Amino acid sequence: GFMGYTGFYSDIAWSHWVLTPALAMGGYHQGRGKYLDGTFQFRLELSLDYQFANKSRFGLKIAHISNAYTKQEDPGEDEIMLNYSMPLSFGKKT
């Protein structure tokens, strides 16, 4: 399956920890993926990361994709993911 989505998120930081809630909506194409009963889907996500001195992050992300009962069925899909991210810098900063 494939899902493209757009939405909102915000980083909430304290010390070296960063909590990132996200809400998005988008389109889903089943392909050989899970049946989610519809193209239009919502995505809720919560990530908790440890941010290192070089601004890279390591953490855990949980997410749920659902059609929010806009269709007959709402089988949904859940994810748990370990992630590592690092900032990219392009060009000279002033």
N- to C-terminal Cα separation, the chain: 43
Please give the chain's pLDDT, 94 residues, in tens: 888 999 999 999 999 999 999 999 998 888 887 878 888 999 999 999 999 999 999 999 999 999 888 887 878 889 999 999 999 988 776 6
